[in-house]
Structure 1
Amino acid sequence: MTPPIATYRLQLQPAFPFAAAEEALPYLAGLGVSHLHLSPVLEAVPGSTHGYDVTDHTTVRRELGGEAGLRRLAAKARESGLGLVLDIVPNHMSASARHNRPLWEVLRAGPSSPYASWFDIDWAAGDGRVLLPVLAGPLGTEADRMTVEGDVLRYGETRFPLREGTAHLPMAELLDAQWYRLGWWRLARTELNYRRFFTISDLIGLRVEDEDVFAATHAKVLELLHDGVVDGLRIDHPDGLADPEAYLRRLNTATGGRWTVVEKILTGDEHLPADWQVAGTTGYDALRHIDGLFTDPSGTSQLHSLYRQFTGVDDDLGGQWEPTVRKAAYRVLTHDLAAETEHLVRLARRICAAGGPELRDHAPWALRLALRELLVRVPVYRPYRVGAASVLPASAAAAAKAAFTVAEESAAVDVVRDLALGLLGDGDGPDSEATPDPDRERFRARFAQTSSALHAKSVEDAAFYRYTPLLSVNEVGGDPARPSVEPAEFHAFCSRLARDWPATGTVLSTHDTKRSAEVRARIAVLSECPDRWAALLDRVAGVPAPDPHLAWVAWQTSVGLGGAAETERIGGALLKAAREAALHTGWTEQDAAYEKALSDFVAAGPGGQQASAVREFAQETEDAARANSLGAALLHLTMPGVPELYQGTEAEYTALVDPDNRRPVPFDPAALADPGDKLGVTLAALRLRRELPEVFGPASSHAPLTARGPRAAHCVAFCRAEQVVTAVTRLSLRLAESGGWTGTELVLPDGVWADVLTPGRRFSGAVELDKLFAQRPVALLRRVAPEEGEGPG
């Protein structure tokens, strides 16, 4: 199908169902997007505000309006010239047996259930039973709260099926007779024996690599596609699947090649695998390249020195990026993902026991150590079948072996690496082509799946909260070790997208970003004025904080909100940050005294009277923040790819990490008639995309334009298909301090160019940038016929 022109993400929930989305159609159609991107719509846990906890793949969620409501929304959207894109969740579903019928049947009938193949359950590890870590305390203290009602076991509001013929047994015997073991929730860390999403035991992994499971879990979505209700798909977390490449091939065939993007987070210089049958990613790679343009490399270095001095953090606890990531990874593997690590150890032991003599003397502790040392050295989310050896090169194995004191025992590293890469054995073992061993394929897949969970938890959910010199660069897909992006690198990225992935998704804000684009734009200004930031810290130093690291994060967060004294929002974000960092408190080991001190600090500082100091700072740097915001928005809307707007971000939108970023937003068509600064730029760009789809479509080119003069580095500009020119200002505060655009100009391609944002202005040839940017720090130009022009502006 033809790719969308632009998509608009709506966060559906019981408080914002299909009917509410229908009411927003006049506004969204007027905005200029072509498709609504709906968060998951299949049946989910009652009350879920996100929908990623799917309970039934055959039913459209009743709380949203059911299938009739979805089809009505699609029909009304079509009347308004809009299509629908669905977010689907192939990797996992809710682990609530009460609401998940396939899981209920597995718990009732055990391995013989026809649904047993749906889930990655290691029955042997649990002595033939599934651990369900749902109890508030140890079994001995919770058993008295359990009752039997017919063939159901009740524990509070939770229900579980009883194995046939066991309902009459005394409670202790009854519990032992089930296909599951009810356990204290804290046991999940070390004893869980089913695959889950990251470290969330409430979400159980699905085996969509099984053809029957794929068919059962995708039938309704495919029906909606084939009926024309839905036009495209967004695939949640493909890295969690056993075989993403094969899944995407099967999906592409089943959908007939519909436009599909994947939530694949690329790390550093990693590229999307060329053989994936998708249009591209959801766009976090674009976010990093755009944001990096507005981050000053010299200022970030100065900020880092100030940060080290202010916080006094150690290198591996926030002082340096790589050591911080490595230490966090070790903690996640031995703490949060201990059960996943042990599953890999069991698989490796079984493979070694069945292998040749060269495999049989690797002790469990050696295999465990080898696994840990290799997993922490995977530089990307996960290795794939193609190119896996480059992700785990021999140098990584050599570094892993350094953890062993006896060289001979370090041979376990070679075994684990070979298994992780799916390498064949010597021809006489179970991994030879003649006698393939399913355990080896399971190990390769589970190693990759664990790698993706480790990367997400150790980087995004730990290191991003520990290493915080500049919060704006600590975003999904970001690289704090390389916070800045030069224009040449940005243009190379855009040219590669235009060549290889022209219909990929691009984003600036999503339901998963830790800070909205506006918040990041304000914080990024700190990289241009570290001295002013230091002065602000001195001014607010009178408010005692639980620790200096938290104070640093708190005041940057306050800057991102423009100094708004919103105690609840700031406090919620800081509490989440402190728990994710797990340095003083955590999700499972909460320190009440520390969290009370955090709350008191927010109330007295960023949420109290000291907010006025931040507001003054924000006002002084407002022009620079505006330039960052408008520049990022215009680049996003005109660069190669399909831009997605997260709800509310078409205008100025300040939001912190979820649930703050999932608040409802207004959809007032009247706002389009008199748009503000950012909304005006968004409207102009989107309407131009709709009017000139060929200029921004898959066959369009991206041609960098280079300014000339003393301030040339402060301009980023390009031409699309020789018809549209985008030009933005970068590092505008440094530019102003150096005297402005004096003597700097942009040479436009031949012809006459009309200013789309300020009608009536025309340009041609070499344009002085102080004139081009006279009204605003960005410009969007359209080629016009000479007779339409009124001469150069």
Structure 2
Amino acid sequence: MTYPRATLRLQLHHGFTFDDALAQLDYFAALGVSHLYLSPVTTAQPGSMHGYDTVDYGTVSAELGGEGALRRLAAKVHERGMGIVADFVPNHMGVGGSHNAWWLDILEWGRHSAFARHFDVDWHSPDPALRGKVLMPFLGGPYGEELAAGRIELKFDPEAARFYAQYGPHVCPICPTDYAALLQSANRADLDTLASAFQGLTTQPEDQARAAAGRDALRAFIERVGTDPLDFVLEAYSSADPVPRDRLHRLLERQHFRLAWWRTATDEINWRRFFDVTSLAGVRVERHDVFEAVHKLIFRLYADGVIDGLRIDHIDGLADPREYCERLRQRLTSLRATPPYIVVEKILAPTEALRDDWAVQGTTGYDFMNDVGALLHDARGAAPLAEAWSAIAGDDRPFGAYALEARGEMLSYYLAAELDHVTRALHRIAREQPATRDTTYASVHRAVASLATHFPIYRIYPVAGMRTTHDKPWFDAALEGARKALPRASLTALELVNAWLGGRSPDAANAPPANHGGGGKSARNAHANAGSHANAPLSHALIAQRTALALFSQLTAPLAAKATEDTACYRYGRLISRNEVGADPDDFSRSVEQFHAANKLRRQRHPYGLLATATHDHKRGEDVRARLAVLSEIAVDWSSTLRAWSTLNQPQRRGDITSTTGWAPGPGAEAMLYQTLVGVWPPELDPGDEAGVRELAERVAQWQLKALREAKLRTNWLTPDEAYESDCQAFLFDILSPQRRDGFLQALADFVARVAPAGVVNTLLQTVLRLASPGVPDLYQGTELWDFSLVDPDNRRPVDYAARAQALDRAAPATKLANWRDAHVKLATVHRLLELRKQAPELLREGEYLPLTVRGALAEHVIAFARHHGNAWAVVIGTRHAAGLLDGDLPLVAPERWEDTNVELPKALAQASLHDWLSDAAHHTPGNALALRDVLKALPVAVLSTEPRA
């Protein structure tokens, strides 16, 4: 199987299984994709709607149909010459509950569990109550209250012959070292005899085998007499009465876990999580044995030809992404003759590039989504929109200031335990040498916190314990920010931390240079020496430095994500179409030249990376963002509209409406709500359709609740203000109630009708650019029709594939423009360009990329480029910033409006005959230019090629 030419992302769960995907395979093939791109297929927590909470890496999810169903799907996929790219989650597993055998084993046996080193657990916590234990922060209230209420119970599993503590769905196995005492507590001779098998047990591996034999005897006993004798044991530890409850408490205190209130996790968790999600525990995939155990099933499926490539989730969570990717590629290459296809989920800063030494085909496409999204925005709208937002929010700071503030809050209130882990790792380094022994924990903590707060990207990627030249500018930026923010008394500790975080070799002289920036020749030498000494034992100092660097990188990555995407993007509302995963709202727009430069670099470096405009993680659907981008073209009018709507809906506000901030939803939240309503209003929805408006309101209410809690201003996930949330929802339903049919509802519908045609122009341009740019276009499930979705779970709603299959035909997209509201023009555009990619796969995937010059009256409203491979050519032309050019309802600039605007063609296309794959029109080029009045008279986009349709 070759690399994909186009992928289709499917979200699998118990409501859409492998067999359900198989039932739609005819449609997927007819649409023209080459690969199905599946969400994780390993066994996840029961009922999981996403699959990222894996509990068993060794089995295919039974809820999805099991391995048999996956193989059936794969066989039919391959019969059609298609392939499968599987999403894979090496960074974390689902914990809590009762289904992760690895996790349950470490709860049972502690640091002597066979799986103790599979997870990033700190067994040496400075807190005596956690030393040698795993914090289990899953209680709904304080431990004492939950114990007294009888919600923590001792139970017995007859099938496994295992005692365990249960709290709701959470199971914590009791260590067999306590089984003798448990069995003897019943005062029965038969159980006393069984207890002898567990007498004197330790947690050592050899005693674990003894415990297994004891369990066998206990199981045989139960099979003979039943479980009634065990009820006496459970009664002796019942939480219903004070004496047995105290006995249960003392039993729990002896275990290798500590049950705790969920709120303790922020400050005390002693194992690495995925971001701040306590139900997902970090996996130490950097260990060779863990790597093999985690990938065993995936390697077998790849070796058997069931899957053809991998999408690696959250690559930045791993200790060493570069080393992981290299090892993964080597293992996959050893299993099949064809080179493996690997893409990674990676968020890149505007000027950051994916590292060349990762041995992957590219990213999952957030970088392209940002590039094309910024292209749709008019730079001239940035200032007036910022001014309007400043007036609304009473805050004229740029987004970067919001993000910086959110970083500080996240470190203090949500990632405090993770910050502590980094600090302690660095403080241990300080204590190793006399010259730095007096460096205090608190001074290191301040330095690390300031560095992390000012870190401009997700993380760095050191090699052999040293920062590389690629890391240097990013780390130096954080260092400079920290130097300015910290008091002079903290600068000495900051320079030490700089050195210990890869600024110098751990074997160099103890005192670091006064102003060392890191990177440089020493880092390059460390990189060069890493390979030649790969099998040499590492020094204690190097191990300590590498550990600290990994912990620091595993702090800055979740900090960036939580502070930027999940906090600041819900606080800053200049124009929320730029508040997207992988985007920087301060990077408001991109010029045509900048877009071309990014595409040329993409072709040069990662021609097989994915091109996405919608994902399972997006905050707003691709067509929501395309429509909202239009507001940047009418910034002054939109600002006036915002003020008018705010005045109109003032009577519906809740709370203290005389206050500037005390009312619900509040000025910022209200402004972002109006943007959301403009973005998601369906083109066909009539304001008088009560059921339709109600359905929309319910979807927006779900978004609103998440947005308010993510913003963490007046409510949050940890301590929700339910009264405020209820008032916000009431405001939303009031302004969308039938009583507003002739007021706000009509005004909203009228405004949407005004901007929607220009939004459609943006959608078609975005669609064409995704399908014609260098790389592999990725379609998110169902978005071949309108994608007016919001953040999950809204963007994971069921897809009506029957409607899409019925709408799919061979007619040209241009024939469907007049009825654009049904979105068939978008579907036809996707279909036609996938057909072109199939007919000439190299042309649009890795063909030469040539920006074309546009001249004439409306040149600034056009983007054009050519693709060239062998004898095949394609010319891509699209309309941009069309809000002021459209007349009426049709998303098309009238031909005469283009006047003398034309696109200059490469000399090789002089005298050429070109077929427009989107209109089926033929164009002859007697000169070296194409007139836009001819090329764009049927659609706002055109893809002309020397390749005629077969």
TM-score with structure 1 length normalisation? 0.95
Q: Could you say if the C-alpha distance between residues 405 and 77 of structure 1 is closer, same or farther in structure 2, counting changes exceeding 3 Å?
A: closer
Separation in 2, partners of 1:469, 1:77 = 45
Deviates more, 1:526-535 or 1:296-305: 526-535
Q: Could you say if the C-alpha distance between residues 79 and 393 of structure 1 is closer, same or farther in structure 2, counting changes exceeding 3 Å?
A: closer
Q: CA deviation at 1:735?
A: 4.0
The question of 1:679 aligning with 2:809 is answered: no
| Aligned partner (choices 906, 909, 922) of residue 761 of structure 1 | 922
The question of 1:155 aligning with 2:167 is answered: yes
Q: Secondary structure at the match of 2:883?
A: helix
The question of 1:744 aligning with 2:901 is answered: yes
Matching residue of 1:710 = 857
Q: Secondary structure at the match of 1:102?
A: helix
Structure 1 unpaired stretches of 5+: none
Q: Secondary structure at the match of 1:48?
A: coil
Matching residue of 1:285 = 367
Counterpart mapping for 1:556-595 below 5 A: 556-562=675-681, 565=693, 566-595=696-725
Q: CA deviation at 1:401?
A: 3.1
Matching residue of 1:521 = 626
Q: Could you say if the C-alpha distance between residues 287 and 670 of structure 1 is closer, same or farther in structure 2, counting changes exceeding 3 Å?
A: same
Matching residue of 1:262 = 344
Q: Secondary structure at the match of 2:778?
A: strand
Matching residue of 2:498 = 417
Separation in 1, partners of 2:722, 2:305 = 53
Tell which structure's C-alpha radius of gyration is larger.
2
Matching residue of 2:357 = 275
Q: CA deviation at 1:4?
A: 0.3
The question of 1:689 aligning with 2:807 is answered: no
Q: CA deviation at 1:300?
A: 2.0
Matching residue of 2:544 = 439
Separation in 2, partners of 1:677, 1:594 = 42
| Aligned partner (choices 550, 566, 569) of residue 461 of structure 1 | 566
Q: CA deviation at 1:767?
A: 2.1
For the 8 Å contact 2:456–2:477, the answer to whether it is kept is: no
Q: CA deviation at 1:249?
A: 0.2
Q: CA deviation at 1:534?
A: 2.5
For the 8 Å contact 1:511–1:658, the answer to whether it is kept is: yes
Counterpart mapping for 1:376-525 below 5 A: 376-385=453-462, 386-387=468-469, 389-394=471-476, 396-407=478-489, 409-421=490-502, 423-425=504-506, 427=508, 435-525=540-630
Matching residue of 2:773 = 639
* Paired residue total: 780
For the 8 Å contact 2:767–2:830, the answer to whether it is kept is: yes
Separation in 2, partners of 1:606, 1:388 = 51
Q: Could you say if the C-alpha distance between residues 176 and 784 of structure 1 is closer, same or farther in structure 2, counting changes exceeding 3 Å?
A: closer
Q: CA deviation at 1:465?
A: 0.7
Matching residue of 2:407 = 329
Q: Could you say if the C-alpha distance between residues 434 and 166 of structure 1 is closer, same or farther in structure 2, counting changes exceeding 3 Å?
A: closer
Q: Could you say if the C-alpha distance between residues 327 and 76 of structure 1 is closer, same or farther in structure 2, counting changes exceeding 3 Å?
A: same
The question of 1:345 aligning with 2:426 is answered: no
The residue type paired with residue 920 of structure 2 is P
Q: CA deviation at 1:320?
A: 1.9
Matching residue of 1:139 = 143
Matching residue of 1:62 = 62
Separation in 1, partners of 2:499, 2:488 = 20
Separation in 2, partners of 1:455, 1:347 = 21
Q: CA deviation at 1:391?
A: 4.0
Q: CA deviation at 1:91?
A: 0.2
Q: CA deviation at 1:589?
A: 1.4
Separation in 2, partners of 1:394, 1:54 = 37
Separation in 2, partners of 1:477, 1:149 = 47
The question of 1:198 aligning with 2:283 is answered: no
Q: CA deviation at 1:784?
A: 5.2
Structure 2 unpaired stretches of 5+: 157-162, 183-236, 238-246, 334-338, 463-467, 513-525, 527-537, 654-663, 686-692, 817-823, 888-892
% identity of equivalent residues: 39
For the 8 Å contact 1:97–1:103, the answer to whether it is kept is: no
Q: CA deviation at 1:606?
A: 4.7
Q: CA deviation at 1:376?
A: 1.2
Q: Secondary structure at the match of 1:726?
A: strand
Q: CA deviation at 1:747?
A: 2.3
The residue type paired with residue 140 of structure 1 is G
For the 8 Å contact 2:458–2:561, the answer to whether it is kept is: yes
> CA-to-partner distance for each residue in 1:262-310, whole Å, 9 max, x for gaps?
0011111000001110000001111111111110001122111111112
Question: What RMSD, in angstroms, separates the aligned Cα atoms of the two structures?
Answer: 2.0
* Larger RCO (CA under 8 A, 6+ residues apart): 1
Deviates more, 1:68-77 or 1:722-731: 722-731
Q: CA deviation at 1:349?
A: 1.6
The residue type paired with residue 297 of structure 1 is A
> CA-to-partner distance for each residue in 1:457-477, whole Å, 9 max, x for gaps?
010001111111111111111
For the 8 Å contact 2:312–2:344, the answer to whether it is kept is: yes
Separation in 2, partners of 1:684, 1:55 = 41
Separation in 1, partners of 2:582, 2:676 = 20
For the 8 Å contact 1:378–1:391, the answer to whether it is kept is: no
Q: CA deviation at 1:605?
A: 1.9
| Aligned partner (choices 294, 301, 307) of residue 376 of structure 2 | 294
Matching residue of 2:442 = 365
Counterpart mapping for 1:67-146 below 5 A: 67-96=67-96, 98-125=98-125, 126-143=130-147, 144-146=150-152
Q: Could you say if the C-alpha distance between residues 132 and 479 of structure 1 is closer, same or farther in structure 2, counting changes exceeding 3 Å?
A: same
Q: Could you say if the C-alpha distance between residues 612 and 81 of structure 1 is closer, same or farther in structure 2, counting changes exceeding 3 Å?
A: farther
Q: Could you say if the C-alpha distance between residues 192 and 441 of structure 1 is closer, same or farther in structure 2, counting changes exceeding 3 Å?
A: same
Deviates more, 1:609-618 or 1:263-272: 609-618
The question of 1:543 aligning with 2:649 is answered: yes
Q: CA deviation at 1:716?
A: 0.7
Q: CA deviation at 1:539?
A: 3.6
> CA-to-partner distance for each residue in 1:560-591, whole Å, 9 max, x for gaps?
01365311111111111111111111111111
The residue type paired with residue 757 of structure 2 is D
The residue type paired with residue 200 of structure 1 is V
> CA-to-partner distance for each residue in 1:656-683, whole Å, 9 max, x for gaps?
0000000011212222127711011111
For the 8 Å contact 1:579–1:585, the answer to whether it is kept is: yes
For the 8 Å contact 1:311–1:548, the answer to whether it is kept is: yes
Separation in 2, partners of 1:430, 1:227 = 55
Q: CA deviation at 1:41?
A: 0.5
> CA-to-partner distance for each residue in 1:326-345, whole Å, 9 max, x for gaps?
10000001111001011111
Separation in 2, partners of 1:594, 1:15 = 34
Deviates more, 1:63-72 or 1:410-419: 410-419
For the 8 Å contact 1:558–1:611, the answer to whether it is kept is: no
TM-score with structure 2 length normalisation? 0.80
The question of 1:731 aligning with 2:881 is answered: yes
| Aligned partner (choices 179, 183, 191) of residue 260 of structure 2 | 183
For the 8 Å contact 2:913–2:922, the answer to whether it is kept is: no
> CA-to-partner distance for each residue in 1:342-400, whole Å, 9 max, x for gaps?
1111112211111x223112111111110111011211110111336424444643432
> CA-to-partner distance for each residue in 1:65-98, whole Å, 9 max, x for gaps?
0000000011112223321110000000001251
Q: Could you say if the C-alpha distance between residues 208 and 784 of structure 1 is closer, same or farther in structure 2, counting changes exceeding 3 Å?
A: closer
Q: Could you say if the C-alpha distance between residues 605 and 19 of structure 1 is closer, same or farther in structure 2, counting changes exceeding 3 Å?
A: same
Q: Secondary structure at the match of 1:3?
A: coil
For the 8 Å contact 2:52–2:89, the answer to whether it is kept is: yes
Q: CA deviation at 1:443?
A: 0.7
Q: Secondary structure at the match of 2:946?
A: strand
Matching residue of 1:216 = 293
Q: Secondary structure at the match of 1:732?
A: coil
Q: Secondary structure at the match of 2:33?
A: coil
Matching residue of 2:751 = 617
| Aligned partner (choices 652, 655, 658) of residue 789 of structure 2 | 655
Q: CA deviation at 1:532?
A: 2.4
Q: Could you say if the C-alpha distance between residues 75 and 784 of structure 1 is closer, same or farther in structure 2, counting changes exceeding 3 Å?
A: closer
Deviates more, 1:169-178 or 1:502-511: 169-178
Q: Secondary structure at the match of 2:372?
A: helix
For the 8 Å contact 1:370–1:401, the answer to whether it is kept is: no
Separation in 2, partners of 1:557, 1:784 = 42
